[in-house]
A and B are shown apart, each in its own frame.
Chain A
Amino acid sequence: MLRFALRRLALMVPVLVGLSILLFAWVRALPGDPARALLGQRATPEGIARVNEVYGFNEPIVQQYLKYVQALLGGDFGRSIKTGQPVLDSFVEKFPGTVELGVTALLLAVVIGVPMGYYAARHQGRFLDTFIVSGSLLGVVTPVFFLAILLKLVFANWLDLLPTSLRQDPRIDATHITNFYVLDGLLTREYDAAWDALVHLVLPSVALATIPLAIIVRITRAAVAEVLNEDYVRTAESKGLAGHVVSRRHVLRNALLPVVTTIGLQAGLLLSGAVLTETVFAWNGIGKFLFEAIGQRDYPVLQGYILFIAIIYALINLVVDMAYGVIDPRVRVS
């Protein structure tokens, strides 16, 4: 298992090198350029030339790339053209927000979705199954921004139960160590701050969870329905085993592979930033920041963030592949 993980990690290196080249070319292929975005509409040609000179954008692209890689190897991801803040610093500051939101949403989706899908498969064709299946269809087709605004309207504006936006009430003077606000509140024993951060998580994570939830419900239902027809489930029942043993040990274990794949894919999506949700809820995460960086043609930010996201994606994939081995001995790697 360890050797497998190490080999996969080593394989990530060429992938990342290739990706960095593609990225470098791609961000520069975007129409417009950072100097114009920075200086605005009334930029003078001299101003643009100066900005390009300062950032080295007038050099040949290959040379720019080599310089970039050289800096990368020294741990320097460059600075944002817009704010001047080091890319790494801003990532470390904003990524926890995205993780906090994404993980909460994913937990909601898995904890609710897997049992719901299982139940639906066990009661195929009955009322609740039909209800769950059509509900999940509704979940998939509802645009996130629409749902997010609806949730805000109902739970924040009308009922006044939950906050409308931000990760924490700014009036709470909370200490932040890790930038995971809930965790920070617990670590510093500022429990009111932790609670406030948690309350702020409710609406965005519900909005963000709907699509993964709907997908997980459907995949689980399909996988369980298939396993229920397997001979070994009948064997398990012929042993007179208790219902929960049959369902957990014999049905769910076998239905888990496609579900885990889906969870992995969804985790990658959620952690690479939920642009819409973060924007609607003014959530300080990488999704919103990345979106703004595209508008600014902020090359260093784009390159750095997308590289980080690629690494995270690859790591999640590795975890999923290792989970396969744990679940199914037939794909276990020697």
Chain B
Amino acid sequence: MTGAHDQPLLSVRDLSVRFGLKGQRQVAAVDEVSLDIWPGQHVALVGESGSGKSVTSLAVMGLLPDRGVEVGGEVLYRGEDLLTKSPKEMAGLRGSEIAMVFQDPMTSLNPVITVGVQLTEVLLRHLQVSKAEARERAVELLGRVGIPDPARRLREYPHQLSGGMRQRVLIAIALACEPKLLIADEPTTALDVTIQAQVLEVLKDLVADTDAALLMITHDLGVVAGLCDDVNVMYSGRIVESTNRNRLFANPRHPYTGGLLASIPRLDSPRGAPLTPIPGSPTQTLPWTSACAFAPRCGNRVEACTERAPALEATGDRDLRCFNPLADADLTGAAR
């Protein structure tokens, strides 16, 4: 895959995002996050709510609020640092080179203008097309995301569409200008389970058709399994394990990853068998600066975990941030 390209499409280096207005104590939502996405590659960013996944994606898009936020590190897109670009330059890239599908289709479309306007405006902004051509393309796009009678739907308003259809529209909008990189921020969480699979299928097909790279942000490892090449697991703002999908599923080393996999309900487990949750809640963390944030919930905790911060280290087949990772023997019980 990397043969034709000598650099990653997107390379996030040591990204940190701190919130807090002047005079207040700053909170690091994201810290030391590095990840690479090669052209056409599908990469997952996995973690619980509040782990910093969405903030990472908004930082890449340049959509963080401009006040009360401090962004550090580098976000290299084709070698150029997006964090140093002017708002105007970023607006030129957004929608055309890098696009995003958001979490909640019910609130992500403007309720007072037609679907058609919302779809064609991105085409008219970035491509040299006439209004009539944009309309034609919009009809074609809606057809491709599986919306029946697209010409009629273009004249309708978002409230006349179901949640699944709205997410299809948002996918069509994001992929309208054939971006090189698509960021999908939990695109299926707000949908019914049956619709989830359909929308995911549409997303998968379109990403494949347009050859876009995909950064899939999710807490659903099932989505990861069907879609992504590489997986980054985040906990409390930092990446704790990063590796190839197959290796991760077969052999999770970080106790948090192991816990996530163990908590997935399985079809072959006996009826009525209890699920295996990760104990505690994501609010029970220690600051990364002096300890491992996951230590309070971790079954593999050793003394070092609460005394100093583990670093993300390359350990042969993966990057891992853990003093006492799961051994091969542990995972057979935990995640098999």
Residue in B91, B92, B108, B126 whose CB lies within 8 Å of A235: B108
Answer whether residue A172 sits at the interface, using C-beta atoms and an 8 A cutoff. no
Question: Per-residue CB proximity of A245-278 to B under 8 Å, as 1/0?
Answer: 1000110011000000000000000000000000
Stretch at the interface among B99-107, B203-211, B244-252, B283-291: B99-107
Would you give the shortest CB distance from B107 to chain A, in whole angstroms?
Answer: 4
Answer whether residue B164 sits at the interface, using C-beta atoms and an 8 A cutoff. no
Would you give the shortest CB distance from A300 to chain B, in whole angstroms?
Answer: 47
A230 in contact with B95 (CB, 8 Å)? no
Residues on the B chain within 8 Å of A330, using CB: 111-112, 157, 159
Answer whether residue B334 sits at the interface, using C-beta atoms and an 8 A cutoff. no
B125 in contact with A232 (CB, 8 Å)? no
Residues on the A chain within 8 Å of B173, using CB: 235, 239
Residues on the A chain within 8 Å of B147, using CB: none
Q: How large is the interface on B (under 10, 10 to 19, 20 to 34, 35 or more residues)?
A: 20 to 34
Answer whether residue A40 sits at the interface, using C-beta atoms and an 8 A cutoff. no
A232 in contact with B91 (CB, 8 Å)? no
Beyond A234-B63, A253-B113, A328-B112, whether A242 also contacts B125 by CB under 8 A is: yes
Answer whether residue B122 sits at the interface, using C-beta atoms and an 8 A cutoff. yes
B91 in contact with A240 (CB, 8 Å)? yes
A230 in contact with B107 (CB, 8 Å)? yes
Answer whether residue B162 sits at the interface, using C-beta atoms and an 8 A cutoff. no
Beyond A231-B104, A241-B121, A241-B122, whether A253 also contacts B112 by CB under 8 A is: yes
> Which single residue of chain B is at the shortest CB-CB distance from A241?
B125
Q: Helix, strand, loop or mixed for chain B's interface?
A: mixed
| A147 and B309 alpha carbons, distance in the complex (Å) | 66
Residue in B67, B104, B125 whose CB lies within 8 Å of A239: B125
Answer whether residue B61 sits at the interface, using C-beta atoms and an 8 A cutoff. yes
- Residues B149-173 near A (CB distance < 8 A): 157, 159, 170, 173
> Which single residue of chain B is at the shortest CB-CB distance from A124?
B67
Answer whether residue B202 sits at the interface, using C-beta atoms and an 8 A cutoff. no
A232 in contact with B63 (CB, 8 Å)? no
Residues on the A chain within 8 Å of B51, using CB: none
Beyond A253-B112, A327-B112, whether A238 also contacts B100 by CB under 8 A is: yes
Residues on the A chain within 8 Å of B112, using CB: 253-254, 327-330
Would you give the shortest CB distance from A21 to chain B, in whole angstroms?
Answer: 41
> Which single residue of chain B is at the shortest CB-CB distance from A246?
B91
Answer whether residue A27 sits at the interface, using C-beta atoms and an 8 A cutoff. no
Question: Per-residue CB proximity of B111-132 to A under 8 Å, as 1/0?
Answer: 1110001000110011000000
Answer whether residue A108 sits at the interface, using C-beta atoms and an 8 A cutoff. no
Residues on the A chain within 8 Å of B93, using CB: 240
Beyond A237-B94, A238-B94, A241-B91, whether A232 also contacts B110 by CB under 8 A is: yes
Residues of A at under 8 Å CB distance from B? 125, 230-232, 234-243, 245, 249-250, 253-254, 327-330
Known contacts A232-B110, A235-B108, A241-B121; 5 additional CB pairs below 8 A are A232-B111, A237-B91, A238-B63, A249-B113, A330-B111
Can you report 15 A-B residue pairs in the complex whose CB atoms are below 8 A from each other? A125-B67, A230-B107, A232-B110, A234-B63, A234-B102, A235-B102, A235-B108, A240-B90, A241-B122, A243-B91, A249-B110, A249-B117, A250-B110, A254-B111, A329-B159
Residues of B at under 8 Å CB distance from A? 61, 63, 67, 90-96, 99-100, 102, 104, 107-113, 117, 121-122, 125-126, 157, 159, 170, 173-174
